[in-house]
Amino acid sequence: MSVTTASTIGLTSRNVDPGFGALLQSEWTKLRSLRSTWIMVSLAIGLSIGFSALIALTSGLTHDSWNDDVRAAFDPVLTTNSGSLFGCILLIVLGVTAVTSEYSSRMVRTTFIVNPRRYQVFAAKAMVVGLLGLVITAISIPGMFLVSQPIFGHYGLETASVTDSATYRILIIIILTQVLNYALIPFSIAWLLRGTASAITVSLGFLWLPWMLGPILPVWVKQNVLRYLPDVATNSLSGITKADTAQYLGQTPAVMVIAIWLTGLLAAAAFVLNRRDV
């Protein structure tokens, strides 16, 4: 038994700070070791690209009968983004369950027993979730674009090239803002609410209700409320919301709105986590 005692002393003397890198590794192990993570990643990429291909095909098949309004609304870059609906829902689920699965299994206690520095654990998890979300959007957004162009071309619709700087810029904006809005904002909400169903519901409502209710709301609400919400601001940035509409926000203010919401919610979540009993 003296051997074990010796090893105890040995390990204790190496009682050094594991560092932030160790936490990143740990959070990545948590995420990658669940099959559900990979199902979500594949669904997010597969469904969004598949759906965009389908929309491109229907556009091609029906464009002869389009009226002028629909024709004017067609955009060879933004129309390809229609499949994002699925990608975004799955990003929300990913961001939320990365947190709430720890609460529902009560494993969160072990998380903070093995490493009691809550701010660092929070930051490591946010980074890992954000990076995985970025992998998803960095594949799905260009994927949706690339799969749609040959279909548009085949049916004689206007096409865009990824090498075109305007196109390039829009795709990058969407890749980045989708991760921030749909993975990291729900991630923060999940820490605050701690339940899967409630966090997903609140995230969906917060991100999409303004977008769904937008058309029926008075101009005053659009100008003073809606355009300061993260998802609406994102649409101003990517050009989905046109400059002549009431909820349009200039580029710099739009970036600021997104940054303030994101940092505000992340900070609130981290603050509450640090104070609350787990």
DSSP 232-260: HHHHHHHTSS-TTSTT---HHHHHHHHHH
Does 27 sit near another protein (CB under 8 A)? yes
Find the shortest distance in angstroms from Cβ 136 to another protein. 20
In whole angstroms, the minimum distance from the beta carbon of 4 to another protein comes to 5
Q: Is-contact 170 250, C-beta < 8 A?
A: no
Which listed residue (34, 73, 162, 209) binds another protein by CB under 8 A?
34
Number of residues that bind another protein (CB under 8 A): 42
Applying CB under 8 A, the span of 79-87, 110-118, 145-153, 242-250 interacting with another protein comes to 110-118
**Are the beta carbons of 235 and 207 closer than 8 angstroms?**
no
Minimum CB separation from another protein for residue 6, in Å? 10
Q: Are 232 and 212 in contact (CB under 8 A)?
A: no
Torsion of CA 137, 138, 141, 144, to 10 degrees: -120
Does 41 help bind another protein (rule: CB under 8 A)?
no
Near another protein by CB under 8 A: residue from 62, 110, 161, 263: 110
Q: Is 151:60 a contact under the CB 8 Å cutoff?
A: yes
> Residue 252, interface with another protein (CB under 8 A)?
no
Q: Report d(CA 169, CA 135) in Å as an integer.
A: 18
Q: Give least dist CB 120 to another protein, A.
A: 10
Compute the least distance from the CB of residue 94 to another protein, in Å: 15
Continuous H helices in 105-216 = 108-114, 118-154, 165-178, 185-193, 196-213
Nearer to another protein, 16 or 72 (CB): 16
CB atoms within 10 A of CB 6: 10
Is 26 near another protein (CB under 8 A)? yes
Binding site for another protein (CB under 8 A): 1, 4-5, 7-8, 11-12, 14-19, 22-23, 25-27, 29-30, 33-36, 101-102, 105-107, 109-117, 121, 275, 277-278
